[in-house]
Chain A
C-alpha cells in the first residue's frame, strides 16, 4: 500500500507492507536512525516520536496509521546548526550517558514544553514516566528539561519547523 506523511516538515510517499511498524519505517525505509528501537512492547519509550505534536511509541503504531499525519523525529529538532533548547539542555546538564533513551526523552520534553512552558519537577517526571533510561540518569534528564524551560530563546525558530 502507498502511504504519505510529513516527516520533519518534508512530504514523503512510500510503498509499504501494511504490517510495517512506524519505528521500522522511520529507521529502515527513511534511514532516520536517530529514532531508536528498544523493547518492542511499548514499555521502554526509546522509540518515541511526535505524531501531530503528541509523543507516541512508534513500535506500537503502524506506519499505515501515520498516513496523512505529521511526524517529528529527533532529526527534526534542530534548525540547521541551531539546536533546540531541549538538545542544548541535555548538553548543558549532562542529560545523556549512553544516549539510547535520549531521542525519545528529548521529543517528549519538546512536546511537554510546547504545552507547558514552565513545568515543575513532578510534571517533568510524570511526562517521561513512560520512558526508561537504562543508565538510570533521570535526575540529570529532569535538570536538562528544566534548563530548556529556562532558556527558551531558540524556541521561536525551532518550534516552527515542525509544521513548516
Chain B
C-alpha cells in the first residue's frame, strides 16, 4: 500500500481507473474440473488474474509425524509463477507466499469436515499464472471450487473477496493500480451461508467507519461470487449427468 503517485484513481464522475463503480466487481469467470489428474480442480479468471487450483486427497499424510490422530490436515500452497508479474519473480516460496499459504490453509480448514479423515492430508495447490491484485482471494475462491469438485465434505463453500480504499473512497475488489497506489486493502474469506469470516487481513490506513463499510461491501459481494461458484459447479456436473443418460 501507499506508494506515492500522482495517478488519479477516481475520476470526477466517481468512476475508477477501469471504469467501475466503487462497489462493482471485476468480470469473473469460473470453470470446474479443468485438470485430468487432480482429484478436484478449478480455474478462475478474475479481472487480469488467471489462477488454477488443484486438490489431492484426502490421502495418507506424509511425513508421518504430520499426521493427526483425530482429523485430516489441510495443506494449502499458494504459489506465483515467475512470469505472473511485471518483474520476474524468483521461483519457489518467498516469505509472502509462506504467510499466505498458512492463512489460506487455516481458512479452508474452517469449512472442511476434517474429523472424517483422521491421519490424512488434504493438499490444495493454488497456482497464480497471471497476477492482477487480489490473488489470494481469487485463489481461495478457486480452491473452494476444487475442494467441492474433489467431493470433500464441507459445511459451506468459502468465498474470497477484497475491499479497500483508494483516493479516500471505499471500493470493492482492488485492481493492480489501486493495489499499488491505494490507501488500504482488506482481503477476506467468507462463508456465504452463515456469513462467518474465515480469513481477514488488512493493511493501510482506515477509520473505523471506512473499515466496516469495506467489510460489508466485501461480504455482500461474496454472495454474488458464491452464486457464480454454484453455477460453475452445475455446468460441470449437470453435463456429466446428461452424458450418462
| Chain A complexes with chain B | no
Chain A contact residues, CB within 8 Å of chain B: none
Partner-A contacts on B (CB < 8 A): none
